[in-house]
């Protein structure tokens, strides 16, 4: 603001604080100007108020609240008030009266530094979500800075100026009202805190992030705190941050500094190795009277109590343990590790936070061991990754860049090295190098080769030798090149089960051998038994799967199908037993490739079981176990015998249903799979899920536009419109296209889908839903685009209980296209947000052709919701639907000419066996039935001997006999069925309200008293029917704590 007179200047090019706009640019910067008629012209632009006067107005507003928080939840109004409080120095006094959600979440509500961090994060998240136009934070801040010193009169303003274009874009989207205010608030906070950026720690407690402003900031501490509090569940009670019942940090105002410590541990055992002690960094010191430290490694907690004279008591996940050096056998010798105090099982932790002091004296010097260069940096691996275009790519990575944390348990008394993932092998390889243990290094490298696409060893770089000494000898030995080493062979072959020696054994005898070996993979319990011993029933079931004519088999829930049967089938495949492989051929050719198919949620467990049981078989045999089917895209991964190989290398792929179908849409994979498919055996776990029509595959959309021509998009719209509104097929319109027959067929298909969804349900959302941030919240691993990219809301064509999962891809694009039109027509409110982001792209020509009943400026720049416009102007609905429908179709990413692969395709093309705990009735011709062009009755896919049909009129004894075959021999199982009619109404209110009603009814149930184990009448909640689709596990956890109080359950697992 300018006070005092303006000085007349000879040149008006100098910029003044007072700028008045005119049609030709800025007006002359003089206040008065004499004219011909001796009159002076004065331009008044605004009224200038004194600071204290304005501050008084603001103070009176907040004093009038009498200390009660404002009720208005209008975000723009509250942000304006926040900005005024900051600018007039009233923030500390009145901040608590504002009804702003993100301020309620601040650790200290009146701390401007915490507020600056929170506002900066909100601006960043907004920028990340809104990338459609050129509005940026820097441009908005520049505009705010300009208007702080000048008056802009937005009348006859130069429309080509950058400020005018920016103001126009800001006015075009109501979301920018909050954004401008956030930028203004951030600028004020920067001045108040005298800092553009505030260093802070970000800690997650009770499912929410807390901002802590330290006195002495450490970037390393900041990164570790955020990482560890995300992976572990911390809570807050009375300002104290807790893990379990351990007080970790004081978060109250005036909190002490947050420091991380290091702890040194020494072995208690008599056995010594080259490692003299280990040191752990990033350690928390707890708020306890006695000296106590808390360590997090690989999702495990280690608690160390310091007792008298510096003695340490260690507990791993509350179980007492000690540091030890163990000699397991000649291959696994002198390993520094943790050992349970009351048992013989061993834990090996690998982490960047664990450091070992290795004795380098004498013969163990670095020169002798060839360790001038870290060997882990001299080994490269071909890794699969998905790029931003959702395409699978490969890149060479140093193993040193792939290191993470892991925990491996070695069971007494067999001490077999059992891993659950390839990542654990990479970590263990680095661990073996660190502790200078060549035997351990060789064993891990054997396993790692069996799980890798390709490993490359960089022996030298120009004239510099990188790998030498015994490490080079070890690698050469594992690769089986050069001179043989019988001494090493005698040591390491003991670590492998030789299944090939049982090639001629009868199948039943071979299964007994497999089951006997299987027990040695398990924990040895206190009562002198292995934890899992395959039962006679499991052996019979395994034999029936291998030999049975049916492809799919039923076994009741809990009989070890995933943990026992599947790994035993994999071991059978990797063996050379003649009788077993004769049956596994399923009437076709010998099998050398095995594909393990499981539902998405079982993939981690299936990989764990296959890696655990299949890496230590048949010493020196070349076979591979891959955890990604897309390894087939690599040129060095072949099916069948490769050049120079006398017989094909056996391979196992562990993959989800959807990922396998998606892989078969790639030409490169099909070129390898199709000619070799008779040598491939597919094993499907939960096969009823696999064959369920409503769970084939899903359609997803992306941010990439496809190549649909405008005429094609118009034809899709007209076809959908005609089918939905029950009009006749527009044949004349189709004749103008190059393929009229396609559009006529498509109209008939859309008409059939319309009839189907009318029959399926009168409620739209029971039949199918849409993709949005709720239904796609599980898509985090294999879908490259951010969740915000799914606001195009393409229709989801199957039951809404079946959420899309990583790897979901196209099943039936045409079905999705039509259902999208149906949702647009019947539930247009779902598209309010999409329309708000796209309305500014409505052209004048489009408006003139389809939307003339609406005001153009109000349509493009207004703030009325799409649903409101459609309700007020029903005749404009079709034009609005057309506009959004074409946008959505452009965002449908269609891969490989929209090729679709479903479960039935796999059944027809591959020899399959499988099992399930849910009986089903569908029957399909098997690949062998098709292969031999049989025309007799299709053999049953599943054994139905226990099925009970009403028409059979079974006696009670016969019915119970069949029921026991179905359910097994369980006893003491009691079930009470109660009416769920009340959910019809409660679900209209919300899912958590429904769950709360269930809790209340259970508490009021008189029968519940007899089974009470806690204050609540239950200790487990299972959603068998998929009722709670939109709620997160945190929502359920919060409701349980709110309803029953924090003292009811000690732990809540999910």
d(CA 781, CA 760): 33
Q: pLDDT at residue 21 above 50?
A: no
Mean pLDDT value across the chain: 82
Residue 894 has pLDDT above 90, yes or no: no
Binned at pLDDT 50, 70 and 90, residue 17 comes out as very low
Q: Which of 174-178, 969-973, 985-989 has the lowest mean pLDDT?
A: 969-973
Per-residue confidence at 38, pLDDT binned at 50, 70, 90? low
Of residues 774 and 228, the one with the higher pLDDT is 228
Residue 256 DSSP one-character state: P
2-11, 180-189, 289-298, 503-512, range with greatest mean pLDDT: 503-512
- pLDDT confidence of 1017, banded at 50, 70, 90? confident
Q: What's the rounded Cα separation, in Å, for the pair 150 and 166?
A: 17
| Structure confidence at residue 684 (pLDDT) | 93
- For position 687, what pLDDT does the model report? 87
Region 157-163: mean pLDDT is: 71
The residues pairing with 302 across neighbouring beta strands, listed in sequence order, are 295, 316
- Are the CB atoms for 559 and 541 separated by under 8 Å? yes
Segment 6-15 long-range contacts (CB within 8 Å, at least 24 positions apart): 6/30, 6/31
Mean pLDDT of 1024-1051: 80
pLDDT of residue 767: 41
Among the listed residues 700, 708, 714, the one whose alpha carbon sits nearest the alpha carbon of residue 890: 708
pLDDT of residue 760: 47
Q: For residue 7, is pLDDT > 60? A: no
Is residue 699 very low, low, confident or very high in pLDDT (cuts 50, 70, 90)? very low
Q: Which three-class secondary structure state does DSSP give residue 996?
A: helix
pLDDT band at 309 (very low <50, low <70, confident <90, very high): confident
Residues 6+ apart with CB under 8 A from 945: 962, 965
pLDDT: is 1000 or 1015 the higher one?
1000
How far is Cα 685 from Cα 917, in angstroms, rounded to an integer? 9
Structure tokens that stand for 217 in this block: 């900031």
Convert the pLDDT of each residue in 546-555 to its tens digit: 998 888 888 8
Taking only the tens place, the pLDDT of each residue in 766-813 is 345 454 444 444 444 333 333 344 455 555 544 333 344 444 444 567
Tell me what the mean pLDDT of segment 373-390 comes to: 85
| Backbone dihedral region for residue 494 (phi beyond 0: left; psi -120 to 50: alpha; all else: beta) | alpha
Please report the pLDDT score of residue 596 as a whole number: 97
Confidence at residue 630, expressed as pLDDT on a 0 to 100 scale: 94
Of 790 and 56, which is predicted with more confidence?
A: 56
Average pLDDT over residues 86-98: 89
Among 595-604, 628-637, 1044-1053, the range with the most confident prediction by mean pLDDT is 628-637
pLDDT per residue as tens digits for the range 469-493: 888 999 999 999 988 999 999 999 9
Q: Indicate if the pLDDT at residue 917 is higher than 90.
A: no
Task: Say whether 680 sits in a helix, a strand or coil.
Answer: strand
Instruction: Give the mean model confidence (pLDDT) for residues 616-629.
Output: 95
- In this predicted structure, what is the pLDDT of residue 279? 94
Per-residue pLDDT band for 23 (boundaries 50, 70, 90) equals very low
Of the pLDDT bands very low, low, confident and very high (cuts 50, 70, 90), residue 181 is very high
pLDDT greater at residue 666 or residue 313: 313
Contacts by 987-995 with C-beta closer than 8 Å and gap 24+?
A: 987/1027, 991/1027, 991/1028, 991/1029, 991/1030, 991/1031, 991/1035, 992/1031, 992/1035, 992/1036, 992/1039, 994/1027, 994/1028, 995/1021, 995/1028, 995/1031, 995/1036, 995/1039
Q: What is the mean pLDDT of residues 182-208?
A: 83
Q: How many whole angstroms separate alpha carbon 499 and alpha carbon 615?
A: 12
Query: pTM for the full model?
Result: 0.76
Q: How far apart are CA 894 and CA 116, in angstroms?
A: 43
Q: Which pLDDT band, with edges at 50, 70 and 90, does 200 fall under?
A: confident
Pairing of β 464-465 and β 234-237: unpaired
Token pair 């009416």 is found at: 979
Q: Residue 411's pLDDT band (boundaries 50, 70, 90)?
A: very high
Q: Above 80 in pLDDT, residue 922?
A: no
d(CA 193, CA 200): 13
What mean pLDDT is predicted for residues 333-342? 89
Q: What are the structure tokens assigned to 555, written together?
A: 């076994």
List, in sequence order, every beta strand (DSSP E) within 401-520: 406-410, 455-457, 460-461, 464-465
Long-range (24+ apart) CB contacts under 8 A made by 355-358 are 355/278, 355/279, 355/280, 355/281, 356/275, 356/277, 356/278, 356/279, 356/434, 356/435, 357/275, 357/276, 357/277, 357/278, 357/279, 358/274, 358/275, 358/276, 358/434, 358/435, 358/436
Rounded to a whole number of angstroms, the CA Rg of the chain reads 35
Query: What's the pLDDT score for residue 701?
Result: 44
Instruction: Give the closest residue to 183 by CA, choosing from 131, 136, 241, 228.
Output: 136
What's the pLDDT at 799? 38
* Through-space distance between the first and last CA atoms of the chain, rounded to whole angstroms: 60
Element (H, E) at 304: strand 300-306
Cα separation, 386 vs 394, whole angstroms: 9
Pick the more confident residue, 939 or 153: 939
Q: Is the pLDDT of residue 1028 over 60?
A: yes
Instruction: Dump pLDDT digits (tens) for 717-744.
Output: 999 999 999 999 999 999 988 899 999 9
pLDDT category of residue 390 using cuts at 50, 70 and 90:
low
pLDDT at 1003 over 90: no
- Tell me what percent of the chain is helix, strand and coil, each rounded to the nearest 5: 45, 15, 45
Residue 704 CB contacts under 8 Å (≥ 6 apart), including other chains: 389, 891, 893
Q: What whole-number percentage of the chain has pLDDT above 90?
A: 37
Report residue 1014's pLDDT band, with 50, 70 and 90 as the boundaries. Answer: low
Helices (H) and strands (E) in the chain, counts: 37, 30
Is the predicted pLDDT of residue 566 greater than 80, yes or no? yes
pLDDT band at 451 (very low <50, low <70, confident <90, very high): very high
Q: What is the mean pLDDT of residues 357-385?
A: 72
DSSP 974-991: -------TTHHHHHHH-H
Report, as an integer, the average pLDDT of 814-830: 82
Mean pLDDT over 327-354 rounds to 90
Mean pLDDT of 302-326: 89
What whole-number distance in Å separates Cα of residue 20 and Cα of residue 38?
A: 23
Residues 23-28, mean pLDDT to the nearest whole number: 46
Contact 152, 21 (CB under 8 A): yes
Provide the β-strand partners of residue 247.
242
């Amino acid at each position: 603001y300018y006070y005092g007179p303006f000085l007349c200047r000879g040149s008006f090019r100098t910029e003044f604080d007072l700028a008045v706009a005119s049609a030709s640019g800025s007006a002359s910067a003089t206040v008065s100007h004499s004219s011909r008629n001796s009159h002076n012209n004065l331009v008044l632009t605004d009224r200038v108020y004194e600071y204290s006067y304005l501050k008084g107005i603001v103070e009176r507003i907040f004093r009038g609240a009498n200390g009660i928080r404002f009720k208005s939840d209008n975000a723009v109004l509250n942000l304006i008030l926040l900005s005024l409080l900051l600018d007039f120095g009233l923030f500390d006094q009145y901040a608590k009266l504002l009804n702003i959600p993100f301020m309620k979440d601040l650790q200290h509500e009146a701390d401007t530094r915490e507020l600056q961090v929170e506002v900066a994060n909100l601006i960043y998240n907004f920028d990340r979500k809104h990338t459609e136009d050129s509005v940026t934070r820097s441009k908005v801040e520049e505009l705010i800075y300009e208007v702080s010193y000048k008056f802009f009169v937005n009348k006859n303003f130069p429309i080509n100026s950058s400020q005018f274009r920016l103001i126009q874009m800001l006015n075009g989207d109501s979301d920018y009202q909050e954004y401008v205010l956030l930028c203004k608030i951030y600028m004020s906070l920067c001045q108040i805190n005298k800092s553009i950026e505030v260093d802070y720690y970000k800690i997650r407690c009770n499912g929410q992030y807390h901002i802590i402003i330290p006195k002495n900031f450490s970037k390393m501490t900041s990164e570790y705190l955020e990482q560890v509090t995300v992976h572990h569940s911390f809570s807050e009670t009375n300002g104290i941050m807790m893990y379990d019942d351990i007080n970790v940090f004081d978060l109250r105002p005036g909190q002490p500094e947050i420091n991380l410590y290091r702890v040194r541990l020494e072995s208690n055992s008599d056995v010594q190795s080259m490692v003299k002690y280990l040191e752990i960094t990033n350690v928390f010191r707890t708020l306890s009277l006695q000296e106590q430290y808390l360590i997090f490694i690989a999702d495990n907690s280690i608690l160390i109590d310091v007792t008298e004279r510096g003695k340490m008591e260690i507990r791993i996940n509350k179980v007492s343990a000690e540091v030890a050096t163990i000699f397991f056998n000649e291959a696994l010798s002198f390993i520094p590790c943790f050992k349970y105090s009351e048992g013989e099982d061993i834990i090996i932790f690998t982490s960047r936070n664990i450091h070992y002091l290795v004795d380098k004296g004498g013969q163990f010097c670095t020169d002798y061991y060839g360790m001038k260069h870290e060997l882990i940096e001299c080994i490269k691996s071909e890794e699969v990754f998905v790029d931003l275009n959702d395409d699978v790519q490969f890149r060479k990575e140093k193993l040193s860049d792939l290191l993470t944390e892991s925990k491996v348990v070695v069971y007494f008394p067999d001490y077999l090295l059992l891993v659950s993932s390839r990542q654990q092998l990479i970590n263990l390889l680095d661990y073996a190098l660190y502790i200078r243990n060549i035997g351990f290094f060789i064993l891990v490298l054997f396993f790692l080769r069996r799980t890798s696409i390709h490993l490359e060893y960089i022996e030298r770089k120009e004239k510099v030798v990188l790998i030498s000494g015994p490490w080079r000898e070890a690698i050469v030995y594992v690769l089986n090149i050069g001179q043989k080493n019988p001494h090493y062979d005698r040591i390491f072959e003991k670590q492998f089960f030789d299944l090939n020696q049982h090639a001629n054994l009868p199948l039943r005898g071979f299964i007994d051998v497999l089951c006997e070996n299987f027990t040695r993979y398990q924990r040895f319990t206190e009562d002198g038994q292995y934890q899992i011993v395959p039962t006679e029933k499991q052996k019979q079931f395994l034999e029936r799967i291998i030999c049975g004519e049916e492809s799919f088999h039923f076994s009741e829930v809990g009989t070890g199908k995933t943990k026992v049967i599947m790994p035993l089938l994999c071991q059978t495949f990797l063996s050379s037993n003649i009788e077993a492989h004769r049956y596994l051929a399923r009437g076709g050719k010998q099998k050398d490739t095995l594909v393990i198919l499981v539902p998405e949620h079982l993939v981690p467990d299936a990989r764990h079981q296959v890696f655990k049981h299949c890496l230590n078989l048949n010493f020196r045999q070349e076979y591979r176990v891959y955890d990604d089917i897309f390894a087939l895209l690599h040129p060095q991964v072949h099916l069948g015998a490769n050049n120079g190989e006398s017989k094909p290398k056996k391979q196992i792929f562990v993959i989800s249903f959807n990922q396998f179908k998606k892989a078969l849409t790639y030409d490169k994979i099909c070129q390898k799979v199709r000619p070799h498919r008779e040598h491939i055996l597919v094993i499907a776990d939960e096969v009823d899920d696999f064959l369920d029509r409503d769970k084939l595959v899903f359609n997803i959309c992306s941010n990439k536009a496809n190549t649909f021509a405008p005429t094609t998009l118009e034809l899709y719209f007209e076809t959908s419109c005609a089918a939905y509104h029950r009009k006749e097929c527009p044949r004349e319109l189709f004749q103008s296209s190059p393929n009229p027959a396609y559009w006529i067929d498509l109209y008939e298909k859309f008409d059939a889908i319309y009839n189907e969804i009318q029959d399926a349900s009168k409620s739209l959302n029971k039949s199918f839903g849409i993709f949005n941030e709720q239904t796609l919240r599980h898509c985090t691993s294999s879908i490259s685009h951010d969740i915000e990219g799914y606001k195009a809301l393409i229709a989801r064509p199957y039951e809404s209980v079946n959420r899309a999962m990583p790897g979901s891809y196209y099943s039936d694009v045409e079905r999705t296209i039509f259902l999208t039109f149906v949702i647009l027509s019947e539930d247009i409110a779902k598209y309010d947000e999409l329309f708000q982001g796209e309305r500014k792209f409505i052209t004048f020509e489009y408006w003139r052709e389809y939307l003339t009943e609406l005001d153009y400026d109000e349509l493009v720049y207004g703030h009325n919701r799409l649903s409101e416009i459609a309700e007020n102007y029903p005749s404009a609905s079709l034009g609005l639907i057309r506009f959004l429908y074409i946008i959505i179709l452009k965002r449908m990413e269609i891969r490989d000419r929209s090729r679709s692969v479903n479960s039935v395709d796999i059944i027809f093309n591959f020899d399959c066996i499988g099992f399930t705990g849910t009986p089903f009735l569908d029957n399909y011709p098997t690949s062998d039935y098709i292969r031999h062009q049989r025309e007799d009755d299709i053999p049953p896919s599943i054994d139905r001997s226990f099925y009970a049909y009403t028409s059979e009129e079974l006696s009670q004894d016969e019915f119970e006999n069949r029921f026991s075959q179905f359910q097994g021999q369980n006893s003491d199982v009691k079930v009470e069925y109660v009416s769920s009619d009340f959910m019809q109404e409660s679900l209209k209110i919300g899912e958590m309200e429904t769950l709360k009603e269930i809790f209340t009814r259970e508490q009021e149930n008189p029968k519940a008293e007899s089974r009470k184990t806690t204050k609540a009448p239950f200790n487990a909640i299972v959603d068998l029917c998929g009722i709670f689709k939109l709620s997160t596990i945190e929502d359920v956890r919060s409701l349980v704590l709110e309803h029953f109080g924090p003292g009811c359950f000690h732990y809540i697992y999910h």
